[in-house]
Amino acid sequence: MEPIQGQELLDAVMELPGWGLENHELVRVVTFEDFVAAMAFVNRVAAAAEAAGHHPDIDIRYNKVRLALVTHDVGSTVTQKDLDMARQLSALLDE
């Protein structure tokens, strides 16, 4: 798996509404109605991540969930694996 960098990465992020780049990671912050709704989403993320074998870093602050994706075994860079997982996690929000 090759790192995605430069303009190719910027173009890919533009196609992922709600996602951005922070410190070389693909990041999205989602706000929910309350803690219970945030945790329900995180549990769905956990199931999807486990099935894909690719796990985001997750930070939960009451009703806010921060997801960060990077492929650690490719020098902690963004790869197609991260972009695919971002799309999958975004789809969970549409359910």
pTM equals: 0.94
Do residues 37 and 63 touch, judged by C-beta distance below 8 A?
A: yes
Separation CA 78–CA 15 (nearest Å): 15
pLDDT tens, residue order, the chain (95 aa): 899 999 999 999 999 999 999 999 999 999 999 999 999 999 999 999 999 999 999 999 999 999 999 999 988 999 999 999 999 999 999 88
The per-residue pLDDT for 1 is 85
Q: What domains sit in the chain, N to C, each tagged with a CATH number?
A: 6-94 (3.30.1360.20)
